[in-house]
Amino acid sequence: MEILKVEHLCKNYGKGEALVKALDDVSFSVEDGEFVAIVGASGSGKSTLLHILGGVDRPTSGKVYVKGKDVYQLNERDLAVFRRREVGLVYQFYNLIPILNVKENMTLPIELDKKKIDQAYLQELITTLGLENRVDHLPNELSGGQQQRVSIGRALMNRPSLLLADEPTGNLDSKASREIMELLKLSNEKYHQTIIMITHDHELALTASRIITIEDGRIIDDSKVSA
Amino acid sequence: MNPLNTVTIRYLQHNKKRMLATILGIALSTLLILSMALFISSYQKNDEQETMAKYGTFHIVVENDKEAWNILKKEEKIASIETISLLTETWLNISDQTYSLRLFTMNEDMLENIPLKYGRLPQNEGEIVIPSSFTSYSTLNLETGDTIDLQDQTYTVVGVSEPQYYESYLGENVMITKGDNTLTDVNYYFVTLKSVSHALEQLGVIATDLGIVPTHGWGGSEYEGVTPNIHLLNVYGEGYYSSPDDMRMGVYLFLLTILAVACILVIYNAFAISVTERKKLYGIFASVGATPGQIIRSVFFEALVTGIPGMILGILLTILMGMIVIKLFNMIGAPVFSTTFKLALYPSYYYISLLYIVGIIILSAWLPAMRAGKISPIDAIRSKDDVKRKRRWFHFGIIKRLFGIEGDIAFKNLRRNKKKYRVTTIAISLSIILLVVGNIFFAFIEETTYLGMNLPEMNVNLSFGDSDPDKVRAIETEILNLSSIDKAVIYSGKTNYIGAIDGDEKKNVASFANLITLDSKSYQEYLDYYHIERGRPFIINKVVDEADAKIEISPFTEVPQSILLCTRGENNERDCYKTLDNLEMVPDSLGLLPSTTALTIVVDENTLEEIQNLYEKNMSVRSAVIVAKDPFTIEEEINRIFRQYEPSNAFVENYALQIEMMKRTILLIEIVVYGLIGLLTLVALTSVFTTVYTGILLRRKEFAMLRSIGLTKKGFNKMLSLESFFFGMKSFLYGFVISNFFILIINWWIKEMYNPFRDSKLIHLHYPYQTFLIGFLGIFLLTLVTMHYATKQMKQENIIDALTEDTF
């Protein structure tokens, strides 16, 4: 089943001579349960693409359909609700709320949605992420790898249609990076979670099932990874 | 709880100092606005009490027969009725004049409350209280112990009452006796209504019930024999015309609006800073799906969490401050004012104030909340810096040369944070402007009242006269012998036109000349001091400048040969009757005589008598100025002497009391005005604190970085001091420019509106250098202290921690 469809996506910054085409007519689609890695050099437009997919930045033109719904037809409020329910975002710099503990950070999207927390699922996630002994800790009491695991937990908590990860290991050492990649792979397999991950590391990209390569805002390659 | 609200609470707990500053800001705003209400309300209450003391507590007076009692008793809107009934009316003939004497009886409560000058209240039948106008100078000349026959009954005077409010309704010459509470054919019913609202309409209803037909007068319907206590009704805004109550409310609302703007700025600043500080946080919230509405509500939630304790604290502070101020007022006022100040807060003022404060908080939180709702997650995530390069027309390289790299950084920081500091700059400038305008306002009051004039050191001024010169001399001796007098000069004199000096009218230095004689002691003082020959007239070469009452000038450069004295006859023709020659001159009055614009010439008694006898043959008049440590005792003693000798005219004026009353009244106004300005400055200060403190917290990493690359503690302090200095300088300059604009306007206003009624040179306000200096130093010190306080912790913390941790 097609879960994401991107049509002729463009994003420009600046005007006139200073015009920068961050995304230039990008189209692709993603099937449910796929693990897609988007690779490209710094400044190629991959982060812009991810932010537009996540509903945090608006395209200059083009369409994004998630589960057949045109995301940018939504008003601000519904777009927020879309982000809350359909998207889980994982950033390079974790972006956790420093005054909320691990558990509170993870349940934040549920609380914002005023839904009941699925305690069994929360426990399962905490165990899977290896955070059993850290649930009451504040972000600044955790290592970088642990913080990133919390941010993955937060992204998965709502069982989103899409998990978008922006250089999730960019700030971590190689051991922690490996752990995070294993967790992403695990969530893809265990929960059939669709993942779109941005990285500039081709080796890490090989963890995914499909690699899209971007250069100067255009897709120059889109290929499956052979198992 | 909603996770956003949880975060807000924790954030506030985490930033206790800033939260306290916000709560304090709200509390002070509440205090400012409530105390205004309290002040105006109390003013009204005191006005009410003063009016009640003067004109009575009742609302309506009904003059009617005894039947009216039964109708009035049934009226539901009437709270209470007191009655005064006419017993007898008699006419007395004294030296060709007919006097009406009216004897009344009143109910027990009213009788007991008659304030007495002296004597006692009537306790038995046949005893009366008389008004003070019957005593001393009155033709009736009654005193306690005297008896008077009224319609076959003899009454004994037992007491003398102070002037009473009921006298104006009962007619002149009112005497009161103890009665048996029975109504007569003529009764005055003093009616107090249950509610004063629409009192005049209620009056109409009561009059109609009594069967009185209205006639139409100036103020609307009038009913014969039914009179409103209009003075008291005016206090409540229930009079015929525009009411002081409405005006007071208008002034209140106007001041409230000005203060509200200042408070909004400051509280807005607190919330705006709070939102700026959490910009990234809101961004993260937005990125995980918080709707704009949820974020907006969380800012209002913060307003609620800080607003409620702030308002409660403000109300408590108002009560506390009110109690202190009223104590202070009564302490200052007690020696000179007859009334005691009381605190009052009318519900209407109270609710309006609270509504204003709630409005202020909501308005203040509004913009920041909307801004928070619009924060784009992408901006927050990217942490875009708000430093923008602008084309500069002006280069401040001189700052670096003058103050070094620290000064350069300080100056750039200030420029970078221009927006953040804006509200605080406005608040501080406003404080300076108000301080300067307040200062000018009081200078103006002092200039326009006689506080600003050069009064001699004398504090009691008096005059007396009688056709019997022996009596006058006896009084003079008595006064001079009073032991409590430090210095007394008694003089008698005659004011003359100056006809010519040395035979030349052009040489006339003044229009008038006062010829005076002095009591022998004072006269001798002059003779001894200046070695003048006894009997020779001498000029005191000091007059008050006619153009500027504050300046004394010496009109003569050499002793004139002769002065021609004139008077104006019945048809205004000039009649010159005396040439003074063989003159002496002394440079100063030795502080013995008050300065006037007329030339003072001291002569011997014969000369004066000679002139006086030309016109006022049968009157001997003396004036005196007295210096005494206790002018109040002197005033009483002089009154006693006057009562003893009964001169045909007598007058005592205690300058000390008037000056003291004026001084204290101004002091009270100053306390209120400067108090309000001080409060506003405090509100501005909380804004300085919030801005500076948060500004520095947000720059924590930057400071750590500066230290990591070798900025010393000394350099760091220098940078902070310079930033305070530049910031203070900027706020001061704004305040300075706008204040000067106000000074110009006020001076123009005085020149245009005020001076034409007086002398053109009379009022000139001094430039408030001192206020500006105090304002400048105050601002600089406050900012400096706040900055150092805010960075105290930072200076000791680990550089690496600051560099790596997130700041929230």
The C-alpha atoms of residue A156 and residue B561 are separated, in whole angstroms, by 115
Could you tell me the sign of the dihedral formed by the alpha carbons of B662, B667, B672, B677, in that order?
positive
pLDDT-derived band at A33 (thresholds 50, 70, 90) equals very high
A99 with B10: Cβ contact below 8 A: yes
B281, B292, B377: residue with CB nearest A56: B377
> Mind telling me how many Å the CA of B288 is from chain A's nearest CA?
5
Checking phi first, is residue B175 left (phi over 0); if not, alpha (psi -120 to 50) or beta? beta
Mean pLDDT, chain B, integer = 79
Residue of A144 and B804 predicted with greater confidence = A144
Residue of B209 and B427 predicted with greater confidence = B209
Could you tell me the sign of the dihedral formed by the alpha carbons of B392, B394, B395, B398, in that order?
negative
Torsion angle of alpha carbons A9, A14, A15, A16, nearest 10°?
-100
Q: Is the pLDDT score of B755 beyond 70?
A: no
Can you list the pairs that B238-247 forms with residues at least 24 positions away whose Cβ atoms lie under 8 Å? B238/B196, B238/B197, B238/B198, B238/B199, B238/B200, B239/B200, B240/B200, B244/B47, B245/B44
B378 with A56: Cβ contact below 8 A: yes
A84, A96, A100: residue with CB nearest B289: A84
Q: What is the pLDDT of residue B386?
A: 46
Asked if residues B488 and B626 have their Cβ atoms less than 8 Å apart, the reply is yes
B289 with A76: Cβ contact below 8 A: no
B287 with A109: Cβ contact below 8 A: no
B381 touches chain A (CB under 8 A): yes
Could you tell me the sign of the dihedral formed by the alpha carbons of B154, B160, B161, B167, in that order?
positive
* A78: CB partners within 8 A, 6+ apart: none
* B72: CB partners within 8 A, 6+ apart: B62, B78, B81, B189, B191, B206, B210
Best of B287, B370, B374, B801 to substitute, by most chain A Cβ atoms within 10 angstroms, is B287
- How far from chain centre, in Å, is Cα B487? 33
Q: What is the pLDDT of residue A203?
A: 86
Q: Give contacts of B 286-305 with A, CB under 8 A.
A: 286-294
Q: Is the pLDDT score of B232 beyond 90?
A: no
pLDDT-derived band at B759 (thresholds 50, 70, 90) equals very low
Q: What is the pLDDT of residue B452?
A: 47
Termini Cα distance of chain A: 21
A84 with B805: Cβ contact below 8 A: no
Structure tokens at B163: 């002037």
SS3 content of chain B, % helix, strand, coil (to 5): 55, 20, 25
The C-alpha atoms of residue B652 and residue B461 are separated, in whole angstroms, by 6
> Mind telling me how many Å the CA of A47 is from chain B's nearest CA?
11
A95 with B14: Cβ contact below 8 A: no
Look-up: residue for tokens 């300059």? B733
Residues linked to residue B622 through DSSP beta bridges, in sequence order = B464
Q: What is the pLDDT of residue A76?
A: 83
Q: Is the pLDDT score of A53 beyond 80?
A: yes
- pLDDT per position as a tens digit, B138-169: 556 677 778 887 777 888 888 888 777 787 78
The C-alpha atoms of residue B236 and residue B681 are separated, in whole angstroms, by 34
> Mind telling me how many Å the CA of B2 is from chain A's nearest CA?
7
Asked if residues A146 and A179 have their Cβ atoms less than 8 Å apart, the reply is no
B3, B286, B378: residue with CB nearest A104: B3
Considering only CB atoms, which chain A residues are within 8 Å of B11? 99
In this prediction, residues B760-789 reach a mean pLDDT of 76
Identify the helix (H) or strand (E) that includes residue B483. Answer: none
Q: Which residues on chain A place their C-beta less than 8 Å from a C-beta of chain B?
A: 51, 54, 56-57, 76-77, 80-85, 87, 89, 91, 95-100, 104, 107-109, 111-113, 139-140, 154, 158
Nearest Cα residue in chain B from A166: B381
Best of B8, B288, B297 to substitute, by most chain A Cβ atoms within 10 angstroms, is B288
Q: What is the pLDDT of residue B615?
A: 61
Structure tokens at B613: 């006898």
The C-alpha atoms of residue A175 and residue B98 are separated, in whole angstroms, by 122
Q: Is the pLDDT score of B343 beyond 50?
A: yes
Q: What is the pLDDT of residue B742?
A: 85
Question: CB atoms < 10 A from the CB of B483, how many?
Answer: 5
Q: What is the pLDDT of residue B57?
A: 87
The C-alpha atoms of residue B380 and residue B283 are separated, in whole angstroms, by 5
Q: What is the pLDDT of residue B804?
A: 59
Considering only CB atoms, which chain A residues are within 8 Å of B294? 80, 112
Structure tokens at B263: 């408070």
> Mind telling me how many Å the CA of B797 is from chain A's nearest CA?
16
B6, B284, B290: residue with CB nearest A80: B290
B290 with A84: Cβ contact below 8 A: yes
Residue of B162 and B65 predicted with greater confidence = B65
Nearest to A29 by CA among A72, A74, A64: A64
- pLDDT per position as a tens digit, A71-129: 999 888 888 888 888 888 888 888 888 888 899 899 988 888 888 899 999 998 899 88
Nearest to B447 by CA among B772, B658, B759, B769: B759
DSSP B503-542: TBGGG---SEEEEEEE-HHHHHHHHHHHTPPTT--EEE--
Which of B3-17, B41-55, B412-426, B646-660 has the highest mean predicted lDDT (pLDDT)?
Answer: B3-17
Q: What is the pLDDT of residue B239?
A: 74
Best of A90, A108, A158 to substitute, by most chain B Cβ atoms within 10 angstroms, is A108
Q: What is the pLDDT of residue B582?
A: 87
Q: Is the pLDDT score of B757 beyond 50?
A: no
The C-alpha atoms of residue A90 and residue A184 are separated, in whole angstroms, by 11
- pLDDT per position as a tens digit, B525-553: 888 888 888 888 899 888 877 666 656 78
Nearest Cα residue in chain A from B9: A99
A57, A83, A139: residue with CB nearest B288: A83
Q: Which amino acid is at B466?
A: D
Structure tokens at A225: 């990874």
- Report the interhelical angle of B279-287 vs B3-14 (nearest 10°): 160
In this prediction, residues B3-27 reach a mean pLDDT of 87
Mean pLDDT, chain A, integer = 89
Q: What is the pLDDT of residue B450?
A: 52
B382 touches chain A (CB under 8 A): no
Q: What is the pLDDT of residue B183?
A: 83
A140 with B805: Cβ contact below 8 A: yes
- For chain A, give the secondary structure using H, E and C: CEEEEEEEEEEEECCHHHCEEEEEEEEEEEECCCEEEEECCCCCCHHHHHHHHCCCCCCCEEEEEECCEEHHHCCHHHHHHHHHHHEEEECCCCCCCCCCCHHHHHHHHHHHCCCCCCHHHHHHHHHHHCCHHHCCCCHHHCCHHHHHHHHHHHHHCCCCCEEEEECCCCCCCHHHHHHHHHHHHHHHHHCCCCEEEEECCHHHHCCCCEEEEEECCEEEEEEECCC
Q: What is the pLDDT of residue A3?
A: 92
Asked if residues B387 and B294 have their Cβ atoms less than 8 Å apart, the reply is no
A77, A98, A107: residue with CB nearest B808: A98
Residues linked to residue B602 through DSSP beta bridges, in sequence order = B516, B538
Nearest to B538 by CA among B528, B527, B546, B547: B527
Structure tokens at B676: 């309000």
Q: Is the pLDDT score of B455 beyond 70?
A: no
> Mind telling me how many Å the CA of B714 is from chain A's nearest CA?
32
Considering only CB atoms, which chain A residues are within 8 Å of B377? 56, 83
Q: What is the pLDDT of residue B730?
A: 86
Q: Is the pLDDT score of B387 beyond 50?
A: no
Q: Which amino acid is at B505?
A: E
- pLDDT per position as a tens digit, B181-195: 678 888 899 999 998
Considering only CB atoms, which chain A residues are within 8 Å of B7? 97, 99-100
Beta-strand pair B512-518/B485-501: antiparallel
Residue B577 to residues A164, B72, B507, B608, Cα–Cα distance (Å): 116, 72, 19, 13
Nearest to A164 by CA among A56, A88, A71, A96: A88
B80 touches chain A (CB under 8 A): no
Q: What is the pLDDT of residue B541?
A: 86
- How far from chain centre, in Å, is Cα B98? 46
> Mind telling me how many Å the CA of A112 is from chain B's nearest CA?
6
In this prediction, residues B452-475 reach a mean pLDDT of 74
Can you list the pairs that A158-161 forms with residues at least 24 positions away whose Cβ atoms lie under 8 Å? A158/A84, A158/A85, A158/A88, A158/A109, A158/A110, A158/A113, A158/B289, A159/A121, A159/A191, A160/A85, A160/A86, A160/A87, A160/A88, A160/A193, A161/A3, A161/A4, A161/A66, A161/A67, A161/A86, A161/A87, A161/A194
B7 touches chain A (CB under 8 A): yes
- How far from chain centre, in Å, is Cα B268? 32
Considering only CB atoms, which chain B residues are within 8 Å of A97? 7, 281, 284-285
pLDDT-derived band at B401 (thresholds 50, 70, 90) equals confident
* B792: CB partners within 8 A, 6+ apart: none
> Mind telling me how many Å the CA of A77 is from chain B's nearest CA?
5
A51, A99, A108: residue with CB nearest B288: A108
- For B71-94, give the secondary structure using H, E and C: HHHHCCCEEEEEEEEEEEEEEEEE
- How far from chain centre, in Å, is Cα B59? 29
Considering only CB atoms, which chain A residues are within 8 Å of B285? 97, 108, 112
SS3 B216: strand
* A92: CB partners within 8 A, 6+ apart: A166, A167, A168, A170, A171
* B86: CB partners within 8 A, 6+ apart: B102, B103, B104, B170, B184, B185, B186, B187
B381 with A95: Cβ contact below 8 A: yes
Q: What is the pLDDT of residue B305?
A: 93
What are the φ/ψ torsions at residue B461 (nearest 5 degrees)?
A: -125, 135
B629 touches chain A (CB under 8 A): no
B372 touches chain A (CB under 8 A): no
Q: What is the pLDDT of residue B253?
A: 74
pLDDT-derived band at B407 (thresholds 50, 70, 90) equals confident
A56, A77, A111: residue with CB nearest B287: A56
Q: Is the pLDDT score of B131 beyond 60?
A: yes
pLDDT-derived band at B689 (thresholds 50, 70, 90) equals confident
Nearest Cα residue in chain B from A96: B284
A82, A89, A99: residue with CB nearest B808: A99
Asked if residues B155 and B194 have their Cβ atoms less than 8 Å apart, the reply is no
pLDDT-derived band at B501 (thresholds 50, 70, 90) equals confident
The C-alpha atoms of residue B38 and residue B352 are separated, in whole angstroms, by 12
Radius of gyration of chain A (CA): 17
Provide, rounded to the nearest whole percent, the portion of chain B with pLDDT above 70.
85
- pLDDT per position as a tens digit, A196-209: 999 888 888 998 99
> Mind telling me how many Å the CA of A84 is from chain B's nearest CA?
4
Asked if residues A1 and A150 have their Cβ atoms less than 8 Å apart, the reply is no
Beta-strand pair B552-553/A162-166: unpaired
- Report the interhelical angle of B292-333 vs A76-86 (nearest 10°): 120
Torsion angle of alpha carbons B297, B300, B306, B310, nearest 10°?
-150
B115 touches chain A (CB under 8 A): no
A77 with B292: Cβ contact below 8 A: yes
* B647: CB partners within 8 A, 6+ apart: B464, B465, B466, B471, B472, B475
Q: What is the pLDDT of residue B312?
A: 95
Identify the helix (H) or strand (E) that includes residue B178. Answer: none
Nearest to B157 by CA among B102, B111, B118, B207: B118
Structure tokens at B505: 């009218």
